[in-house]
Structure 1
Amino acid sequence: MPETPTLLFSLEAGVATLCLNRPEVFNSVTKPLALALQQHLRDCQQDASVRAVVLTGTGKAFCAGQDLAEITGPNSPEVSEIVEKHYNPIIKLIRELEKPVIAAVNGVAAGAGANIALACDIVVAKESASFIQAFSKIGLIPDSGGTYFLPRLVGMQRASALMMTGDKVSAAEAAQMGMIYKAFADEQFDSEVAALAKKLASMPTKGLAYTKQLLNSTFSHDLEQQLRAEGDYQLRAGHTADYREGVAAFLEKRQPSFTGQ
């Protein structure tokens, strides 16, 4: 029998879905899964027919982080090597992808799994899902951009407490504190994710990419630098076909039909 793929990929109506597929171990990450995710993110960047990306998991979990069996056996690589070669490239690819990336958190997101989700542009979760900065429970430090994104989302005090205690955060609590965008009732989750992804895939893709690039720089710029950057990107946006279509649709009192160009 052929080996079951660790990552499932589908593309429909401009939405690429990347689904972590190791449900028997809560989608914990191994080298093959990490490298497959990296490659699919690169492919999504290159494929003009992809206009939005959904990252999710099969089974009861979104992602439980690193598969510890991979780093505890004989001749196992150092944890630092795993971070450098597996996780850091995934985080960079998500942030550099010139298309919106939705983390559809269908279950527990722990350790690196939680921080991969938080690196995405929009994070939504089932009400039954939860987020755990689990690193302190095994004597490690938060990686995969966790110490970068979480304080910016929820503040230093709350981030410190969550990372040091490893306390579980429900999806509702995560939404309330600004860690994620929204929590959806479990029975509505799939339809809500599909509607959100469809909406983003039908929007002006280049404009969304420019917005993402400005957000990437906002914490390293002062106000004057960010104002200049906004001017530069607004000039680029103003030369897109989607801008022309958006203005024409507004003046003609109709719905725009964006092409992502």
Structure 2
Amino acid sequence: MSAEHDETPADPTGYETIAVDDDGGVRTVTLSRPTAMNAANRAMLAELSSAFDAAAADDSVRCLLLTGAGRAFCSGRDLTEAEPGEDAYAIISETITPVLEQLWEFDKPTVAAVNGAAMGVGLGLALNCDVVIAADNARFSSPFANLGVALDSGGHYHLPRLVGMGRALEMIYTADVIRGPQAAEWGLVNRSVAGSRLLAVATALAQRIAAGPTLAFRRQKALLRQATGMTWAEVNEAEARLQAELVQTDDYREGLAAFAEKRRPRFSGR
């Protein structure tokens, strides 16, 4: 399936700005305002919040895949809703940040398949996913130098951690567009692939993750987040406690049985 698909089938859940599809433990959430470059308006943010809550609560969902319809992932906030002198603090803290926080704290594995533009809140949505696969035509940018305001959507947290302080400031100062291959070279994304292969590659990865021991993945995701503020000894202690928990699971028993029987394991995520 091409990353340049221009139409998304009507979503059976009733969403108007996103589409939701399940396949083999993978829930794909597609930003679906292609004529507006998937700019995030209030309706899209509300529907994303609902979709993330539903995916978190659904035990059949073992991996979340986030992508965009048409020629963009998400070009940023829908500026047709912006006004001079608006209450930017309230808009960001009450409307945008809570959705990004849901994605950042989503305890199941998440993958972003970035096609076309990922800017502003679109950049935030991508970087709040665990793994980011970018099309070679993906375009990442902090465009705020052209507007006279500041990078938001968690960019000040993610960019220096991913690309270093110098490159983060270069992106802020210049508003230059970073395309998929350069984003992969910088470490902004995991890797870049041809646009025509983007969804196939990202979906295959998401399905591989969903078929794995997702309980162990979830616990390791949480530990990695905590480990940035822990000492070497604290990390090793936490790993020992985690391993002691995981050897009691159905997945570990299945993994041992599959190893002994020389077959692929069939993990349940329990």
TM-score, reference length from structure 2: 0.90
Counterpart in 2 of 1:240? 249
TM-superposed deviation, 1:220:
2.2
Counterpart in 1 of 2:7? none
**Deviations 1:152-179, CA, capped at 9 Å, x for gaps:** 1111111111122111101000111111
Query: Does structure 2 conserve the Cα–Cα contact (< 8 Å) formed by 1:126 and 1:184?
Result: yes
Query: Does structure 1 conserve the Cα–Cα contact (< 8 Å) formed by 2:17 and 2:32?
Result: yes
Counterpart in 2 of 1:214? 223
Alignment of 1:187-206 (within 5 A): 187-206=196-215
Counterpart in 1 of 2:71? 60
Query: Does structure 2 conserve the Cα–Cα contact (< 8 Å) formed by 1:110 and 1:133?
Result: yes
- Secondary structure at 1:164 match in 2: helix
* Aligned-partner residue type, residue 57 of structure 1: G
TM-superposed deviation, 1:77:
4.8
Against the structure 1 CA distance between its residues 147 and 107, is the aligned structure 2 distance closer, same or farther, given a 3 Å change threshold?
same
**Deviations 1:208-248, CA, capped at 9 Å, x for gaps:** 10111012112222323322322232222222211111122
Query: Does structure 2 conserve the Cα–Cα contact (< 8 Å) formed by 1:127 and 1:185?
Result: yes
In 1: Cα distance, 2:195 partner to 2:184 partner: 15
**Alignment gaps of 5+ in structure 1:** none
Aligned pair 1:230/2:246, yes or no? no
How many positions carry a matched residue from both structures?
257
**Deviations 1:169-207, CA, capped at 9 Å, x for gaps:** 010001111110111112222211221111011011111
Structure 1 vs Structure 2 CA RMSD: 1.6
In 2: Cα distance, 1:216 partner to 1:95 partner: 10
Counterpart in 2 of 1:31? 42
**Deviations 1:82-109, CA, capped at 9 Å, x for gaps:** 2112221122212221211111101110
Query: Does structure 1 conserve the Cα–Cα contact (< 8 Å) formed by 2:15 and 2:47?
Result: no
TM-score, reference length from structure 1: 0.93
Counterpart in 1 of 2:55? 44
Aligned pair 1:179/2:188, yes or no? yes
Counterpart in 1 of 2:267? 258
Counterpart in 2 of 1:16? 27
Query: Does structure 2 conserve the Cα–Cα contact (< 8 Å) formed by 1:105 and 1:125?
Result: yes
TM-superposed deviation, 1:4:
7.3
Percent of counterpart pairs with the same letter? Answer: 37
**Deviations 1:36-82, CA, capped at 9 Å, x for gaps:** 10111111111000001111111100001111121217xx8512112
**Alignment gaps of 5+ in structure 2:** 1-13
In 2: Cα distance, 1:235 partner to 1:133 partner: 43
* Equivalent residue in structure 1 for 2:124, among 115, 126, 147: 115
Counterpart in 1 of 2:148? 139
Query: Does structure 1 conserve the Cα–Cα contact (< 8 Å) formed by 2:213 and 2:269?
Result: yes
* Aligned-partner residue type, residue 170 of structure 2: A
Aligned pair 1:158/2:162, yes or no? no
Q: Which runs of 4+ in 1 moved over 6 A?
A: none
